[in-house]
Amino acid sequence: MSSLSNLIRNENMKIYRRPRTWLMIAFLVFTIALMSGIMKWESGKNNTIDWQNNLTERNINMQQELQENKELSVEDKTYFTNEIKLNEYYLEQNTNPNELSLWNYVDTSSYLIILATILTVIIAADMIAAEFTWGTIKLLLVGPASRTKIMISKYIATLGFALLLLILTFASAYAAGGILEGFEGTSQAKISITDAGVIQESSYLLNSLEKYAFSIVSMLMYVTMAFMISSAFRSSSMAIAFSLLFMLVGNTLSALLSGYSWVKYLLFSNIDLTQYMQGASPLRPEMTMTFSIMMLVAYYIVFQFLAWLLFTRRDVAA
Q: Tens digit of pLDDT for each residue in 205-263? A: 888 888 888 888 888 888 888 888 888 876 677 777 887 888 778 878 888 888 888 98
Over residues 178-204, the pLDDT tens digits come to: 898 888 777 777 887 776 777 887 888
CB of 223 closer than 8 Å to CB of 302: no
Q: Each residue of 57-94: pLDDT tens digit?
A: 888 888 888 888 777 788 778 888 888 888 888 888 88
Q: What is the mean pLDDT of residues 41-51?
A: 71
Residue 132 lies in a domain: yes
Phi, psi dihedrals of residue 148, rounded to the nearest 5°: -60, -45
pLDDT band for position 47 (cuts 50, 70, 90): low
User: pLDDT at position 318, please?
Assistant: 45
What pLDDT, on a 0 to 100 scale, did the predictor assign at position 6? 87
Strand partners, 202: 190
**Does residue 151 belong to any structural domain of this protein?**
yes
Residue 231 covered by a domain: yes
Cα atoms found within 13 Å of the Cα of residue 186, Cβ hemisphere only: 7
* pLDDT at position 46 over 70: no
For residue 280, pLDDT over 80 is answered with no
Give residue 302's pLDDT. Answer: 93
For the ranges 19-23, 89-93, 273-277, the lowest mean pLDDT is seen at 273-277
pLDDT of residue 201: 79
DSSP category for residue 18? S
pLDDT of 33: 93
| Residue 71 resides in a domain | no
72 in a structural domain = no
Whether 179 is covered by a domain: the verdict is yes
3-state percent breakdown (helix, strand, coil) of the chain, nearest 5:
75, 5, 20
- 59 within domain boundaries: no
Give one DSSP letter per residue of 237-297, joined into a string: HHHHHHHHHHHHHHHHHHHHTTTSGGGGGSHHHHS-GGGGSTT---SSTT--HHHHHHHHH
pLDDT of residue 279: 65
Task: Indicate the number of domains in the chain.
Answer: 1
Residues 107 and 95: their CA atoms lie apart, in Å, by 19
Is 223 contained in some domain? yes
Per the structure, the complete domain to which residue 244 belongs is given by 2-49+98-313
Cα–Cα distance for residue pair 19/7, rounded to 1 Å = 21
How far is residue 300's CA from residue 303's CA, in Å, rounded to a whole number? 5
CA angle, corner 159, sides to 155 and 165, nearest 5?
150
